[in-house]
Structure 1
């Protein structure tokens, strides 16, 4: 904010991943809404009155979709937490999605951001607010990610192109309906242990899907279908739910995502669960969770 004022700028160009674009969003909002100079005051549904300064967002990763969403995430270093700000006034005026800008991502970052996009699509598809229009975005994103993430990790042009589109349309979906407990827990992991956001989302995704499966009707059947699972229509509900979770695990394994975080300690679990349940993404989850259930989910990462 100080740098923006000092150089008397009238616009922002954000080039980078989600952190760069989220920083630009916060700066742009505070400049035009000086009553919110303390960024902590923007947590949750921010009651700002003015749109952010003109912003052009150029993502260099295929995952966060921050260039098209109403969300941004800020790390509060002092309190060891990440908090989510939700504000239609923060959406960039122009988004330039060019897969060539993503071609220099190393494999690990490609995998992590790609699995973040898959988490957006799956959580957005099963969230409480999901409806027909966002379902179209989310199912197509799941399909594209399943088809292209492995090739993107191998730095193949078609893979990069497919993931650029997938993460973008997933963003247009979840920005309108919210996310769920996976993101709430992932924000907590990242804040406490500096775990990369996409890695945290990916490690937790099968665990969160297992927790939510009894509250999703037939939606896991369509997730499994979008991920390329065959003969889903002949499966029982239990079978296609398990097949969807297995397909997510296989994709995560294929792109090298770890399954455990050895920095998590048993004595940390209560604080982690408390912070996750206070996260702005949690209310969108298709079912409620107790603190003990969230602790059990975190424990599966140890």
Structure 2
């Protein structure tokens, strides 16, 4: 066991049916006078949806609020700048994000530029923030990114098409809310994409160079929950048991990678998402078996253990043969939830691979990958993902 490591997560995490009703009381406990609600137009327009229920809870507690509903998928710098202006124009004092990873990242990004300078591109990296963000709570609506729990803020520079990460303990929301009832109407394709993100975020920390015994246990349990429930949640979104297990998996995986970090799957997926404005979970899912097959030689015993967690029978097999079953299981999961195999499906172009490979190696997630690659090797991985059938 590692002699020294820190372990980061929100101070309070509400989980389970109906916890969204606690938002107003918790806002009062945090002395929020006028929070900025950061969300998207779709969620705001839903009758009795997550935003409406959040506002009902705030109204009941007598907490005023202002709404910013300009969040885009893969939130852009223009989104956080627009949200900041609404915050300042209305004398807000705190932030509540409602949605999936895009809303949470947008809210975090807004908080960052409110207190740490307007040019967020200068803050990309690990622990670059000198000042705390405004008080932040996160209401989660997808079993995906786990941004409601983590220190990661992922923003896209719309001018350069570069997706970058600001990683800091200051980004961690003070309170998170995960109510599985909010996910029952999430469409199958989004359930698959966000669920595969959870799956990937449970695998990468297990083979990360920053792993520890606590994160190992979280990863294994999260992977088992994904195996039990992701296919079912995609097939029938109103399967509450499957939805609940996927929320549990998302929280466990999020806590794990918040502390053990990720790897080349996410570092490369950020390049695909930024360059082609593609869904993050889909990018991760397409890259997962290819990148982990590349990583296998660095820690085959870890992949053999992953195979067991994924339900593969490894009895009598060598470590290498058992490890290869893990790669097979990863590809099978993506196939079963109808994720395309080739990055051609999101418009990837080989002429972009060299620049994306260069940027992937600079991504904050690259440094904990178990195998250290060259730019040429990362280009080859993008090309293999492009050629997949």
TM over 0.5: yes
2:323 counterpart of 1:241: yes
**TM-score scaled to structure 2, two decimals?**
0.75
How many angstroms does 1:222 deviate by? 1.6
350, 353, 376: which one aligns with 1:269: 353
Q: 1:8 aligns with which of 91, 94, 118?
A: 91
Within the alignment, does 1:279 sit opposite 2:363 as a pair?
A: yes
TM-score (normalizing by structure 1): 0.96
Query: Helix, strand or coil: the match of 1:280?
Result: coil
- Map 1:26-45; keep pairs closer than 5 Å: 26-31=109-114, 33-34=115-116, 36-45=117-126
Which residue is equivalent to 2:5? Answer: none
Secondary structure at 1:279 match in 2: coil
Moved over 3 A (4+): none
What does residue 59 of structure 1 align with? Answer: 140
Question: Which residue in 2 is equivalent to 1:69?
Answer: 150
Stretches of structure 2 that go unaligned for 5 or more consecutive residues are: 1-83
Aligned residue for 1:300, secondary structure, equals helix
SS of residue matched to 1:162: helix
Query: 1:30-81 CA deviation, whole Å, 9 max, x = no partner?
Result: 32x24x2211122102432332211110111111000110111000011111
CA contact (8 A) 2:262 2:368 kept: yes
Q: Output the CA distance in 2 between the equivalents of 1:89 and 1:48.
A: 7
CA–CA distance in structure 2, aligned partners of residues 196 and 244 of structure 1:
24
Structure 1 residue 254 corresponds to structure 2 residue 254: no
- Whether the 8 Å contact between 1:151 and 1:158 is mirrored in structure 2 is no
Q: Where does residue 134 of structure 1 map in the other structure?
A: 215
Q: What pairs with 1:152-191 in structure 2 (closer than 5 Å)?
A: 152-153=233-234, 154-155=236-237, 156-191=239-274
Q: CA deviation at 1:217?
A: 3.8
Find out whether 1:81 has 2:165 as its counterpart.
no
Give the structure 2 partner of residue 229 of structure 1.
312
| 1:233 Cα offset (Å) | 4.0
Structure 1, 4-13 or 168-177: larger mean CA deviation: 4-13
Query: Larger relative contact order (C-alpha < 8 A, sep ≥ 6)?
Result: 1
Quick one: distance in 2 between partners of 1:99 and 1:158? 9
- Indicate the residue corresponding to 2:278 in structure 1: 195
Largest Rg, 1 or 2: 2
Q: Which blocks of at least 5 consecutive residues in structure 1 are unaligned? A: none
- Distance in 2 (alpha carbons) for counterparts of 1:191 and 1:261: 14
- Equivalent pair of 2:304/2:320 in contact (CA under 8 Å): no
| Post-superposition offset of 1:103 | 1.4
